[in-house]
Amino acid sequence: MLVGALSVAVLTSRASDWRPLALVILLAALAVLSDALSIETRGQRLSGSFIALVLAMAFLGPAPAVAIALLTIGVDAARERLSRARTLSNVVTYALFPLVGGLLARGAQEAGADPAGLAYGFVVFGVYVATITLNFALTALGGRLWLGYGIGMQVRRVLVPLLPSELAAATLVLAFSVIYISIGIAAFAVLVVALVAFQFLTRALLESEERAEQLETRTTELAALQVGALAALVQTLSLRDKMTARHSAAVARYSRAIALAAGCTPEEQELVHTAGLLHDIGKFIFPDRILFAEARLSDDDWQIVKRHPAQGARVVGKVAGLAAVAEIIRCHHERVDGAGYPRGLRGEEIPLLSRIISVADTYDVMTARDSYRTPVSRQEAIAELRRVSSTQLDGRLVEAFIDLLLGSSVAFQHTTDADFEAELDLEARVRAFVA
């Protein structure tokens, strides 16, 4: 490719391409200096020298454009001490796209476009767009071969964010072309100022993109740390009392199903599922005589039990972004008749998702082995749910859950730890937290 490009550049070279010599020297100096201010991002080198090269293609010809491009990349290779493979890839790229752009500009002139006419600026604009596309394709291929970057990834992370600045650069080239046609070499004073501004703005754009990516990465890491800490608490509770952990997993699964049946949004379904997993995290305050009690609790012990929703909410509320989950946990033992705890809320005063967890919690406590109750059959549990409907529990949610149970569309087996781990799904918790 390199030999072919150089051969075509030599064969198409004309003496008139190298005049005026002052223009050749100015464009060469501008290209080299602009490249010295280049920006390295995601494996791509972005430089204002491209503007000088496009002007060389349009107002000199393919051979001078190739020569200026190779001078620019040669100085860069010496400065950066690149590997042979990277150097060859860059040299091929900087020989090909100026040649193609120069030939396109010459073809436009031979087709009747007047380099001294104002309309020629739009020819230069078109050459810019064509060659920036070819340049990206060649550099992306080099990135794929020598750095292992995927082409699609480079399009998304390099080309797409730069499209606004490249459009601005193409417009700058058009404007300079019009000025150069009107006033000649003196237009370079305008170009130098514009190029400095362009380099500065492009650098600011890329740095802001990188800061945004770093912030997103740090946010994800913080989410993983915070949600992971809660998951560790739940898993620690599981080690102390596997029944409570599996109960939390069952409540989470039932609650999500009820929320779906009640017409809640996907976000609310995820929220109630997370709250279900964490709703008993306040049981850390229970002494073993309560957590593993085989008989009914004393009045003093019941006072301790009644503190666990508020304690759990306090722990979860310490995690930034989980305030809504904390409030659901705080209210999951409130009753619609106002006789619940800790605040004695009634009816619609109780958050909907808390009322959902109350239904799921009540059913699972009745049907699964716990510390003080012998499990009952599904039919007996359904009868009890209906008995306390509209006093302890929300009647509409009770019937929605019963419909699910009778349709056998929701079930949970308190048999293995795998059920608990599947519901916990730490990675999903982190994804939901970040979203």
Per-residue confidence band for 213, with pLDDT thresholds at 50, 70 and 90: low
CB 363 within 8 A of CB 381: yes
Greater confidence (417 vs 283) lies with: 283
In this structure, are residues 316 and 329 in contact, taking their beta carbons and an 8 Å threshold?
yes
E-only strand ranges, 44-184: 44-46
Is-contact 366 380, C-beta < 8 A? yes
Instruction: Give the integer Cα–Cα distance in Å for 371 and 356.
Output: 23
Whose tokens are 């059913």? That residue is 363
Residue 265: left if φ>0, alpha if ψ -120 to 50, beta else—which one? beta
The DSSP code for 64 is H
Token pair of 71 as six digits: 């001078």
State the pLDDT at residue 113: 87
Classified as helix, coil or strand, 403 is: helix
Say yes or no to pLDDT of 34 above 60: yes
- C-alpha of 204 from chain center: 20
Q: How confident is the model at residue 434, as a pLDDT?
A: 46
CA 243, 246, 250, 251 dihedral sign is positive
- In tens, the pLDDT along 259-272 reads 999 999 999 998 99
What is the pTM (predicted TM-score) of this model?
0.50
Which one-letter amino acid corresponds to residue 156? R
Quick one: average pLDDT of 61-78? 90
Q: What are phi and psi of 46, to 5 degrees?
A: -110, 125
Backbone angles phi, psi at 72, to 5 degrees: -60, -50
Residue 326 carries which side chain, given as an amino acid letter?
A
Cα–Cα dist 145/85, whole Å: 9
Higher-confidence position of 223 and 55: 55
Helices (H) and strands (E) in the chain, counts: 20, 2
| pLDDT band for position 316 (cuts 50, 70, 90) | confident
pLDDT, the chain, mean: 80
**Of 370, 357, 359, nearest in space to 414 by CA:** 370
**pLDDT at residue number 371:** 46
On whether the CB atoms of residues 65 and 73 are closer than 8 A, the answer is no
Q: Which of 65-69, 124-128, 152-156, 411-415 has the highest mean pLDDT?
A: 65-69
A 10 A CB-CB count for 405 gives 19
Q: CB within 8 A of 416, min separation 6: which ones? A: none
User: Per the structure block, which two tokens stand in for 315?
Assistant: 């722990």
Residue 383: per-residue pLDDT: 95
**CA nearest neighbour of 141 among 62, 217, 73, 44:** 44
Question: Cis link prior to 342 (omega < 30° from 0)?
Answer: yes
Whole-angstrom Cα distance, residue 125 to residue 170? 6
* Angstrom distance (rounded) from CA 78 to CA 73: 9
Which domains are assigned to the chain? Answer: 2-218 (1.10.1760), 241-434 (1.10.3210.10)
pLDDT at 211 over 70: no
pLDDT in tens, 113-158: 888 777 888 888 889 889 888 888 887 887 787 777 788 887 777 7
Contact 90, 83 (CB under 8 A): no
